[in-house]
Every structure is written in structure tokens, then in C-alpha cells.
A and B are shown apart, each in its own frame.
Chain A
Amino acid sequence: MAEERRPKQCTVVLPTESMKAMAESIGVGQLQEESCAALSEEVSYRIKDIAQDALKFMHHGKRCKLTTSDIDHALKLKNVEPLYGFQSQEFIPFRFASGGGRELHFYEEKEVDLSDIINTPLPRVPLDVSLKAHWFSIEGVQPAIPENPPPAPKEQQKTESTEPLKAVKPGQEEEGAIQKGQGATSAEAKGKKDGLMRMKPRSTHELSVEQQLYYKEITEACVGSCEAKRAEALQSIATDPGLYQMLPRFSTFISEGVRVNVVQNNLALLIYLMRMVKALMDNPTLYLEKYLHELIPAVVTCIVSKQLCLRPDVDNHWALRDFAARLMAQSCKTFSTTTNNIQSRITKTFTKSWLDDKTQWTTRYGCIAGLSELGPDVIKTLILPRLTVEGARIKAVSDGPVVSNIDKIGADHVQSLLLKHCASVIAKARPLPDNVEQYRADYGYLGPMLCSHVVKARAQAALQAQQVNRTTLTITQPRPTLTVSQSGIGGSGGSRTPSIIKVPSSLTLMSTRPGTPTQPSPPATKYIVMATSSGSSSTQQVLWTAVLLGGIQKIALFGKRPSPYYGKNNSNKQREITVRHYYKT
């Protein structure tokens, strides 16, 4: 059992090629293979020795990240002069390049123009250390204040909803074993342990006065008339970690709200409510599965309802349908499992009402939007085969006698929707010669328009591919701390028809979520680095360590950058190597 945790310790030695590379960098040309081997062993040993001592400093520094200062101290311990000048900020963009049979890890050093540094204004002085006290626990109970973590982490919410019998008390880790509850609940915990009472523990949903106030404020702001307030409220819903206990209330609020406002054809309120759903989904600390039975009907209503607004000919309820369809697609992606089968159930629902001849154009539009958001596969299997039929129907409306303006508008929207979604899918699936006649034969009335759209889509794709290629060359690894801020608010105007709906910014945001099919997933892990290392000996030196530590577990790296800003600064203690837990068993 011990083997797999110890992957061949004694064989972790620097490759001899590194020795050669390093020798070359300091001007030693022809190094014998034997010398390389001898050197690499010796160097590996010394580096390991230093790394071990450096870890001591890390432990005593009460950190779990090794910093370059730890290495310096370890060197000092051995009476070796520390490596001066190796400073970096917290994150060191460590590059990997391969080519010509060689693999190189290096830290890119850019030439710095001194005048640039001199002319740029000084950065802000880092804040001074300060002390802040808060109540961590009051008589054994952790108060729900912003300083404390949310009472129930997402994993726990998930466990609770999927395995209700294995519920864990808030604040206790779920290590599999049921731990004893805090004081008052111990009896209950014991009962569970005996296995006699395998009952789901009764959970109370009491909200504190503060929470009640918060709930009131938030819901009022969300559906109120002040857009600024709404933005704040939605932001709060999307980011606040402590909403877990209020989730049932929000869920009911939304579901009831949709029910009432659909009847009253209050488009604005429906939009607001959908934006609340979006915000809830965006909140990383919430796990919504338990409330889908309320949320999904509400969302689906907003997609397919016959009428969503008072004046269907003027108001842009189409955007709401699009938005809700995206929400639906997102929740399918997140929550659909083999047990609940959300995706297939939803697909069935949409398809069924779409196939119905009597369905109104509005509903028809919603169904198609809902389906096409589910991804190219769904479009290919469900929508493409019906393009001919749908085309004929649109033709009937547009060419035929004008029955009603509403139908005309509906047909137009359905047409553009179909063109938009199908074009990209066809562009990918269909072999090249885009023949208008061929298209007409395959897709009927919509064929010619589809053809031109596909041609456009192809051109676009080619352009994008180029751009993507270019960006991978220059892109640096996105900082891990980067978080998506600002969800679904604040953006005004957009790529679509300007209207009262201010959703476009949230739409784009949604599509940047990893895994959304409409966008190629951001190339986060792949780098092609064009520049080669400058090959200064010190860089190389650092490199060895990096490679070696990498051999031990993960690659580490130092920065070597003359950094006038951080030179004397107290705060600059974060010259780090990311060898987390190298020392841990």
C-alpha cells in the first residue's frame, strides 16, 4: 500500500541534459557524459538537502507555501551565500517549452525599460498590518457573520440533498464518519449511530431577525423600480456566502412571482425574477438541487408561455425567452443526473409542444430556443430534421394573407432564431461546397438564407481560429485568483435589439463559463512559448531547483526580476514556490 505514495524516490535525479544546458550557459562547452551524470547526482542531493531545510523555515513561518526567502535562509544555515535578487510576486509565470527533443522550464525575463519604471507612478503603499477581532463562536455556536465561513459549504449541501441520511452538522467536516453534534444535538447523533432511527434529521428553518430583514430588502430591491438597487441586490445574491438558509424562501418567492406575473403579463417583473434565478445559480456557495422543483417550472414558463407581456407585438419578450432558455440549459448542465433526468425530460417537453401544429408562434419560439441552447448535438438531432417543415410554416405566414401582425412577427423571430442556431452547427457538420440549390433541396424554404448564414459562419470561424492561435502564443496563464465578478448586472445596451431588457452582459458572462458549448473553452493550460530562455546562468540555476522539485512533486519556480517596487518592501515576503504539501504525507 505504501508503494503508490512513494513514487521511486531514489530515482529522482536531474537529467544529465540539464547539466549540459547549464554548463553551456556558463560557457563550458563539451561536458563529458560521465561528468554530467556525476554532477547531476551531486547537485540533486544538494538541492534536496537545501529544500529540506527550506521546508523547516516554511513550517516555522506557519505557511504552506515555500518562498524564496526560505531557500535563502536554508542556504544561510549551511553557510552558503544566499541567492540575492530572486524576488517575485506571489505568482510566478513559469513557462514550459518543448521542441527539438528538449523540454525546458524557464522563467521569462523581459527586458525592462528603466525609463518606464521611473516614469510610472509609484504603486500604492501596501496596507499596514492590523488586528481585527470577531466572534468565532458564542457558547459553542458559530454566529453567521461575514467573518465566519458560510454555515454549510456547498459540498455539504450537495451531500444533504443527495444523501439525506448522511447529514452532517454545520461546521463539522464530513470525514465519512458521523461526528458527534454540538452539545444539544448529541442525543440525536447517538440515535443515528445506533442505526435504529434512520430518519432524516428535522431541520429547522428559522431565520434570524437580520436574515429576515435582509430577505425583505433583497426581494424588494430585486423587483423594485430602482435599477441601481437591483444591481446591488443581485450582486449580493450572486456572491454572498451565507444565503443557504434563505434559499427555500428565495425559491418560493421566484416560483410564486412567476406564477402571478405570467397571468398579469408583467414582462418586467418576469425578467427581474429570471435575473434572480441567474444570480442564485451564479452563487458558488449554493447548491440549488433541492429547489429545482420550484425553479424549473418557473423558468420553463418564461420560455414557452403563450403570452408574457401585455403588448406582444411591441414588447421584446423574445429576449426573456432566450435568457430563460439559457438558464434552463445551464441548470441542465449543472444538475442533470441519471436519477433526475432533467435534460431528457426538458427536451421531451420542448419537442412535444413544438411538434404540435396548434402551438402558437411564441411558444414555438420558446421551444426552439430552449432546445437549441442545449447544445449542438440537440440541434443536430432534433432541429435540423425539422427545418423543412418549419420553413414551410414560416413561408405560409410570410407569403400568405396577413392574418395577424403578431403571427408575422412570431414567424420572423422563429426564422432568425433557426438561422442563427442552425448555421453554426451546419457550418461544422456539412462538407464544404455551399451550394444554394443543394441547401434548398435539403432544408426547403429556409435553405438559401441558411446557406448565406453558413458561409458567414465559416468565414467567422476561420477568423476566430486565427485569433485563437495568435493568442495562445502570447497568453500568460490566467491568475488563479481571478474570479468572475459582476454577474448579470450593470451592463446596458448590447449586441441584440436594444430594449428594456438589460440582459446582454449577463448573456456574455454566461457563455464564458467553462463548458458552455457556444464558446471554445478558454485555453487555460496549454502554452506555446516562442521565446527561448536568455540562458543566463542564474536563471538556469534556479531552473535546476525547479526541475528537481518538480521531480519530487510539482514544478516550482522562482522569479528573478529586478523589482524596484518590491525591493525593500515589508510586504514582499511572498516570493513563492508552489510546492504545496511536498512534505506532507
Chain B
Amino acid sequence: MAAVQDGQLNMEVEKDIKTEITNDGSGNINANSSSPGSTSSGGKSKSPAGSGEDQQTLLAVLQFLKRNKLTESVDILRREAGLSADADDSPVSDSAGAGSGGVPNVSADGGDANSLLSRVSIATPVAPPATAPPKVVAASGGEDQPDVNVVLSAYSQQGDPVLYPLYYNGLKKFIESVLDCHRAELSQVFYPLFVHMYLELVYNNHENEAKQFFEKFSGDQECYYEEDLRILSSMSKKEHMKGNETMLDFRTSKFVLRISRDSYQLLKRHLQERQNNQIWNIIQEHLYIDIFDGMPRSKSQIDAMSGSLAGEGKRDANKAKVFYGLLKEPEIEVPLDDEDEEAENEEGKPKKKKPKKDSMGSKSKKQDPNAPQQTRIPLPELKDSDKLDKIMNMKEATKKIRLGPDNLPSICFYSFLNAYQGLTAVDFTDDSSLIAGGFADSTVRVWSVTPKKLRRVKSAADLSNIDKESDDVLERIMDEKTASESKILYGHSGPVYGISFSPDRNYLLSSSEDGTVRLWSLQTFTCLVGYKGHNYPVWDTQFSPYGYYFISGGHDRVARLWATDHYQPLRMFAGHLADITCTLFHPNSNYVATGSADRTIRLWDVLTGNCVRILTGHKGPIHSLAFSPNGKFMASGATDGRVLLWDVGHGLMVGELKGHTDTIYALKFSRDGEILASGSMDNTVKLWDTLKAFDDVELDDFTAATGHIHLPENSQELLLGTYMTKSTPVIHLHFTRRNLLLAAGAYNP
């Protein structure tokens, strides 16, 4: 399924889907959306793959334009590309003729894709296998209706609608009658079965039967599927199924269940004895049953892992090796003898003066066996200023407070006043000197929280008058007249949902509802680049801890990896079944994690573009992620008010922290990883003892192999403190280098 394409074509994809969703084929929209894309793709054919590849892309574009009767654009494009009028017809008819249109096109692209791989790739979704098709198919083919029909057609096989409840009831009775140990496992079948039976009924126009079926059995489903059921219930006609994303997800992705061999045999035998073909067909076609040998899992084990839109992640999906260790820090001559622990600044060099911390030093001298190779992905070279900053960091780190259950951090709360509910995103710089806020009125505001005011660089004319040899040239280039405590950045045309400082504090990223990610300079306080690629709201963006790279994800379900000096994405991570709601880089910059509204977290390899982990267990859209400073663990928070802890290396859930009553928008580990702070919409900050949480987990080989986990019962023991604000939802948390916790939110009178 590795559909490797040009980025531009993919933009077409998005547009195409857009039109398909709205069923609005009006020429205007298409003209607006596609002509810039098409011209640009014609303009810059710098791919090394050469003409064959590009031509094919062009032809696809031409075909699309033609179908939408955009003759003018067709002409222009043809002229630009120097194609003859008849050249486009023959291959296009080929591709259009074959099957659903797009497939040959895609595979042809894939043919000489290797050469392109260096530049752009769409990640291969390891599992579920059929996640990407709706987009890709619709993309290259551009035939909206037929494709949806293909997707749906599997539902056309139908039995007697009256019998559906009987089938379902029969299975229900059977499952209720089996031994307790199998019952929990087999009960997992209910939900996907229910969904598909309902959809089949709806598809075949048995509206009333569908309604009755829904009313009768929707109450049996687990409460965490409620949201999906609500969407399902609103779909009561065949027409509604077209363009409904949730429906497409159900249909195109196989629901993954993990069932022990014994239980599966039971089910199989039952269905075959009863000749219950209807159900058996659904199981065969729409479900992926991941069979394992061993003890059936208990109800609580299953509940902990389920809840995602498409079932659990397959076990093989989490088998890939993840190098979660940290990169070696470059050697820096440090004037002071101070050393940081594994947190962020694992000192690569043994200290020359005092050997007192040599255990630490020698440990970090060796390459961490779990760390990726230093050059696995190219990282920007350190500039002098970066080195200075690192030294500052280390100095600060020596003054760091050691946190623990008996030594809780102090918290400083930054309240945004008069925000009129408009604050949508907050970020702190690593050294805690700047705060940026994204607002619903499309502005980005930057505050300095140190006495040092924000200043602009002087204009070019003034700069030329400066003595470039002077020692304080860096000071001289700043325009003192512009000094102020805060600056406003204008440029977006929609609410700013994501915001991130670069590690060197020179840049700021912001992502917005208008579909762009913007890079701002904090020297001139102007916009440098607008990265266009997402055509829908971009919910989150995040700089790599080493700078240069950044990740963005949004409503189009594709996460994109960018480099600041490329206007096209370097990687596109496709696989999520719903909006990507939050993104985060691993501390070693080799991986990115994305949380999604499909209630899964995926970990992507930046090098290969593969999805290496699918973590399920949340029962609501995930809104916050945090990696522990050592890179080994991850925490995630969702709208269900629970924080889940994950072992990245094993791909396992290792803890569940209950206590919040509303969406968790902020998570952060302390600099040493001993304490996890979580901030939520319920106006509280909670502190959790993560050392204990991670110690409590016993990971034997069996658990690691099967993914069966026993979560500690009581997460209250891990709760170290709860702090209520008056009326301020907590939307960002940050530990300073000295382990002071900073929290931020907008006061909501």
C-alpha cells in the first residue's frame, strides 16, 4: 500500500476529497483549489525520477481538470508542460478504464518511487492494512461516486433484514453461555458486529429494521463507544453514508480484535454449526482477528486496551524495534563542572575536573544500546549560540531541585486575563523566558516573562550603519525603540490551534484553522514562511528538540514532517482514521508521536516513515502527549479525563491515572522524569508519582510478548497533589530547567 507520490498530487487528493465530501462539484471551488496546485506541479519538476513519472502525474491532473470542465486550466497547464493535446488522452483512458480508476496510477508511481523516497514518502500504515485506500483511491482516480460505491458495495450482499436481530441475539445467547474465561474475549465481537450489521441494514434501505436493530442492541455496547454510536444513529439513510467519514472508516479499516486461540475456536465452531453465514461473513470481511496462544484475557485487560475506532493495534504492528534511547550530546567544553543527568543533557564527555559523578559520566560515555545511531537522521549542526545555551542549561541544571513524593515542585501560574475565551494554545521556551499564546482571533502573541524586553532587529538601512566588528554587535542590531513586553504576530486567518518555539528561541511555529503552518522570526517578529500542505485546520504543530524539523497534524488525518527550509513536507504519515489532534517529537528526534480523534496514538519513524507503534486504550480523542525525559515512556491524556502511561520500547500500556474529570490539555514530565504534571479543563493541575508508576509495572517476557497487562488497581496512590484554580482551565504546563512548574491558562470569569 506504499503509495509514494509527489506532494503536489497529494494536494490534489485533498481537494478532491473535499469536493467529494460536500458533493459539491461546482466549478468554482474546483477551479480555485486545483489550478494553483496544478500549475505549481508543472512548474517545478525537480524530482530526479525524470519525465516519465512527472508526466504521469501531469496527466492525472489534466484528466481531473477535464472532468471538471476546467478547460482553461487544462490549456494553461498543457502549455506550461509542453504537452500535445492528444498526449494526455491515451494513458488517461488506460488508468480510467482499469478498475476504480486510480489504482494503476498509484502503482505506476510506486514503480520508480525509490528515487523519490529521499524527498517525500507516504508512510506505510502497518496496520490495519486497508486504512489509506479511501484517500488514495479517490485521489488518483478522482471518481468520487464510483469509489464510494466500491467501498460500500460489500454491504450489498444481504440476508433477510428481519433475521438480523435473531442472528445477533443468537450470538449474544451463545456468548453469554460460554465459560466465563472466554466470555469477555468474545464479547469484543459485539461492537464491530453491531456496527456492520447496522450499516448493512441501512445500506440496503431497511431503514425501519435498522432503527429497531439499533434501539434494541445499542444499549448493550460498551459505554466508551457512545460517541461513535451517536454518529451511527444519525446515519439512517443510504444517502447519508456517502461522504460520512466515520462510516468510511468502519468500512475500509478492519476492526482488530485480539482473541485467544481457544476462544476463537469456540466462536468459529458455533457459527459453523449454526450455519450462521451472515455473521461469519461479516467476521471474515470486516474484522481482523489477531489470534494468540495462551490464556484468554480478562475483562479488565480487554477494557484497558479497547476503545479505539478500529479496535486494538495488531500485535505485529508494535513489534518493530524502536530506538528510544537518547542521542549522545555533543562534546562541549564546559567551564564549570556541572552535569545533568539523563534528562535532556546527558553529558557526553567525562568531566575533567571532578570525578565525583563519574558513574553518571561513564554511563553516558557509552552509547546507549537503545539509542539510534547518531546520524540516523541528519540533525542540524550546533551553532555557537546553541553551545552557549547548552552551557547555560547545564549550569541551571546543577541548581535543579530534586523532586519526589516528599518534595513537590512549586507551581507558578500564568493567567491570561481578558482573553474572552479566545486563548487556544500556549507554549513556553525551554529556558522559560518567553511565552507565546495563540488566539481564536488569529493572532499570535509573544510575551517576555523576564525583565529583558522583546526587541526587533533594526531595519536594513540602519543595520548597514553598524560596526560589524564591534563586540556587542548582537546588541547593536536590536532596535531599542521597539522594546516592549509583548509582541503581536498577525498573519493567520483563523484561530491558532498549535504553537511551538524552536529550541534556539529564534523561531516560532503556529498552526491554524486556515490550513497553514507559519514560521515566525523572533528577531524581526515577522512571518518567514507559510507552509501550505494541509488543506484543513491544522490542530497541532511541534518543533523537533534539535530544531530544524517540525511536525504538523490536522483534520486531514495526515501528519506531515517538515524541515524549516523546505516548503514541501519531507514525510507524510498517513494511517490515522480521524483527525490528528496532537503531535510530539521523541526526545531523540528520530520518532514522532501523534494522537488522534480515532483514540489511538501512533509512533512514526522519521527515517522510514513507517508507523512503528499503535497504542490503543483511550476512550476519547487524545489531546496531549508527553515523553519522559529519558525517552523510554510516554504519557497521553484525552477527553475522557484519563492519563495513560506507555512503555515506548515494548509498545505497552503501563499505567492509568484517573482523577481528572475533563479533557486533559497539558502533560509534562519533570526534568528528571520523577513527576508527571497534568493540567485539565476541570481547572486542576495534578501531580503524579511516575517513578512509582513505572516501578510497579512488572514486565515479564510473557507480558511483553502478548501485550497483556495488569494495571495497578488504584491510581490514587500515585496522585501526589491536586491544585484547583479559581476558574482557569489549564492548557499548558512546563518545567523550567530548575524544575519549577509553570502552568498557563486563560481566566474564565
Contact = CB atoms under 8 A, between A and B. Distances in A.
Interface of A: 2-3, 5-6, 8-11, 41-42, 44-45, 48-49, 52, 56-57, 59-65, 67, 69, 73, 77-80, 126-140, 142, 147-149, 171-173, 177, 179-180, 182-183, 570-574, 583-585
B597 interface: yes
Interface string B226-255: 110111011111011000100000000000
Contact of B422 (A41, A52, A134, A573): A573
Given A62-B731, A570-B422, A48 B413 contact: no
A147 B619 CA distance: 34
Contacts of B215: 8, 10-11
B554 to A, nearest CB: 10
A5 B665 contact: no
A129 B723 contact: no
B439 A129 contact: yes
A139 B410 contact: yes
A6 B232 CA distance: 13
B414 A148 contact: no
A6 B726 contact: no
B581 A60 contact: yes
A80 B243 CA distance: 14
Interface of B: 18-19, 21-22, 24, 29, 211, 214-215, 218-221, 223-224, 226-227, 229-231, 233-237, 239-240, 244, 405-425, 435, 437, 439-441, 443, 445, 447, 449, 486, 494-495, 497, 513, 536-537, 539, 555, 579, 581, 597, 619-621, 623, 639-640, 659, 662-663, 665, 681, 684-685, 687, 716-717, 719-726, 729, 731, 741, 743, 746
Given A45-B234, A64-B662, 8 more contacts: A2-B221, A9-B214, A42-B237, A77-B555, A79-B18, A129-B423, A137-B741, A140-B720
A574 B18 CA distance: 29
Most chain-A CB neighbours within 10 Å: which of B425, B445, B722, B726?
B722
Contacts of A64: 662, 681, 729
21 contacts: A9-B233, A10-B234, A41-B236, A44-B234, A45-B237, A59-B663, A64-B681, A67-B421, A79-B19, A127-B418, A130-B416, A130-B418, A133-B449, A137-B723, A140-B409, A149-B724, A180-B719, A570-B422, A571-B418, A573-B441, A574-B421
A49 B218 CA distance: 20
A177 B723 CA distance: 17
A78 to B, nearest CB: 5
Contacts, number: 223
Given A9-B218, A585-B640, A56 B229 contact: no
A199 B244 CA distance: 59
Nearest to B581: A60
A149 B681 contact: no
B235 A45 contact: yes
B237 A41 contact: yes
B723 A10 contact: no
A413 to B, nearest CB: 47
Closest 10 A-B residue pairs measured CB to CB? A140-B408, A136-B413, A9-B233, A136-B411, A137-B411, A79-B22, A10-B233, A127-B418, A48-B234, A570-B441
A80 B722 CA distance: 44
Contacts of A41: 236-237
A52 B411 contact: no
Contacts of B425: 62
Most chain-A CB neighbours within 10 Å: which of B19, B230, B231?
B230
A130 to B, nearest CB: 5
B375 to A, nearest CB: 37
A137 B439 CA distance: 27
Contact of B440 (A6, A45, A61, A132): A61
Contact of A132 (B237, B417, B421): B417
A147 B410 contact: no
Contact of A573 (B234, B414, B421, B681): B421
Nearest to B681: A64
A96 B239 CA distance: 34
Contact of B412 (A135, A140, A179): A135
Contacts of A63: 421
